[in-house]
Structure formats: C-alpha cells, structure tokens
Amino acid sequence: MAQIRLMPPGALITSRQGRTDGCCALGKVVRACRSQVGIARRHEPVCGQACDVPEFSASRLFRMENTRHAGERRFRAAAARMIVNSMQELSIMSRISLDQAQAIVAGALKEGRAMNLKPLTVAVLDAGGHVVALAREDGSSNLRPQVATGKAAGALALGMSSRAIGEMAEQRPMLISAAGALSPAGLIPVAGGVLIQGAGGELVGAVGVTGDLSDNDEKVALAGIAEAGLTAKA
C-alpha cells in the first residue's frame, strides 16, 4: 500500500509506488493518476496498484482542483438564483398590488355613485389580512372603516364571503361567535365582504364594503373587483 503523509499546503509528496500527490490550499491530498482517462483528481486513492505518473507541480494540481471547486460554486450560485427568482415570482403572483387595490376602491365607489347609494367605505386587504387600501366617502360614519375591514377580514379568516358567514351564523351561531372573538379584526356576518382571486385562481385578498344595504354593498364590491381585472371567489 502506498504510504502517503499529509504535508503543508503547496508541498509535493511522492509515494513509494510512484504516485505523485500535492496538497491543495485546504490541506487535502490531491492525487493524480494515469490509470484513469485523462487526469483523475480525488481525495481518496483512485487505484490499488502502482502508477507511473509525471511529477506535476503542487501549484498546477492546486489550480486543477480549484477550477473544479469554482465550477461547483458557479453551479450552486446559479441554482440558488433560480430558486430565489421562482419564489419572488410566486410571491408577486400571490399578492394584491397597491394599484390593484386602488382600482378596486375606485371601481366600487364609481358603482356606488351610479347606483345612487348612501356614502360608502371600501377596504381592500391582502391575503394575510393587512389593509392595502381604504377609502371613506364624505358622510360615511366613523365606524364604517372597521366594519368594512371586518367584512373582508372575516372572509379571509373563514375562506368564504361574509354573506356565506351570515348564512352559517344562522345554523351555527356559537361557532361564528367564537370565531369572531378570535379574529383580530372581528367578523361581520352580513353581505359585503368578498374574496379576491388572481389570474391563476390563487387567493390574493378580500374587499369589504359598507354603508348601504348589505346586498348593495356586495354588488359594489363585485364591481370593484371586476374593475381591477380580478375575479371574485364564489
């Protein structure tokens, strides 16, 4: 068996059987052997017999090994960039933008004026329940922002429109009462809170409207979603 001992980085080691070994900068043995195709570089012996190889300088062996490591680093860096880019694209696709939220608000208020409704308040939340845009028309009472936010937040919390929550409350009042206590923004179990889907069908947020009859609030919310080019989740 070849007797090899580790030497300081950059040193040249020659075994009794003629194998030439060089230490890379990390202090690992780099072996060069002609018994393989081309020049084989391993951190373990590549053959079990004597090999007659020319004496490469330690610096050349280090360059060869460093080139391999550099290739691996480039590959890993490229793979990491692809993963990060994919995650960023997914994140962008799965959230509602400020422009979209403002378009929903504008579209809802426009529909409210066309229907000659009472002053309205519109709140648009992202999928995490955070307010992205909110508008309160002149004359809308001071509790309306909380009501509009509660309609949208409740829809997000239970995964259904606030109309559906109201229908559930008739059959399971204790559940809705308990859920309302748990929800930071509360639950408003009447129509006017609608879930919003993105182009791929993913949930991106919710809109809540209050100020007129609940049925009218819902109509206005649906109009705002359509105005922004998004889809309401049934």
Rounded Cα–Cα distance for residues 163 and 105 (Å) = 20
* pLDDT for the residue 47: 44
- One digit per residue, the tens of pLDDT, for the chain of length 234 reads 444 444 444 444 444 444 444 444 444 444 443 333 333 344 444 444 444 444 445 556 556 556 666 666 676 676 666 655 544 544 444 689 999 999 999 999 999 999 999 999 999 999 999 999 999 999 999 999 999 999 999 999 999 999 999 999 999 999 999 998 888 888 999 999 999 999 888 999 999 999 999 999 999 999 999 999 999 997
Q: Where are the domains of the chain?
A: 12-92, 98-232
Taking CB atoms within 8 Å and a gap of at least 24, the contacts of 45-54 are: 45/2, 49/17, 50/2, 50/17, 50/18, 50/19, 51/17, 51/18, 51/19, 52/18, 53/18, 53/19, 53/20, 54/20
Is 180:188 a contact under the CB 8 Å cutoff?
no
- Per-residue model confidence (pLDDT) at position 202: 92
Q: How far apart are CA 30 and CA 225, in angstroms?
A: 65
pLDDT at 234: 72
Dmax over Cα atoms in the chain, in whole Å? 99
Side-chain-side CA neighbours of 51 within 13 Å: the count stands at 21
Tokens of 21: 């070994």
Gap between the Cα atoms of 208 and 143, Å rounded? 13
pLDDT of residue 43: 40
Q: Do the beta carbons of residue 166 and residue 175 sit within 8 Å?
A: no
pLDDT at 69: 62
Three-state DSSP at 156 gives: helix
- Superfamily name and number for 98-232: Haem-degrading domain (3.30.450.150)
* Residues in contact with 168: Cβ distance below 8 Å, sequence separation at least 6, in sequence order: 158, 160, 175, 176, 189
CB 85 within 8 A of CB 92: no
Query: Which among 140, 146, 120 is positioned nearest to 216, based on CA atoms?
Result: 120
What is the rounded CA–CA span in Å between residue 2 and residue 152? Answer: 75
Gyration radius from the chain CA atoms: 34
pLDDT of residue 183: 86
Answer yes or no: are the C-beta atoms of 124 and 133 closer than 8 Å.
Answer: yes
Calpha distance 26→18 (Å, rounded): 23
